[in-house]
Amino acid sequence: MSSIEDYMLPCLNKKLFGFECLGCGLQRAVALIFNGEFFAAFKMYPAIYTLILLAFFLIFNLFKTIKHQESIKKWLFIVNLVIIISSYIYKLTLK
């Protein structure tokens, strides 16, 4: 029986240059969430939950106008960038 891991895309950055990109681990983290392994998903890709929050906010905002929506979007993007970049630097320094 095949699983979702059988259909994941490989990281081209890692294949071509030998090191991971900023998005490495995102697909596996989503798969871990679907399997109910929430802490493992966070360890795999720390920005997974803030990205989900951002995605839900953006989708909700398509249908409903929210007070201060631009400010909320800006801060959600900034928080995600900080988490992604800092976890990437942390991952690079461990190796």
Confidence of residue 12 (pLDDT cuts 50, 70, 90): confident
Q: Which H/E stretch holds residue 15?
A: helix 12-17
**Predicted structure pTM score:** 0.83
pLDDT of 2 reads 56
pLDDT of 6 reads 72
48-63 and 69-94 are packed helices; what angle lies between their axes, rounded to 10 degrees? 160
SS3 state at 7:
helix
Higher pLDDT residue, 6 or 34?
A: 34
SS3 state at 50:
helix
Q: What is the mean pLDDT of residues 59-79?
A: 94
CA 5/CA 64 separation, integer angstroms: 35
- Among the listed residues 40, 41, 43, the one whose alpha carbon sits nearest the alpha carbon of residue 29: 41
Mean pLDDT: which of 4-13, 27-36, 73-82 is highest? Answer: 73-82
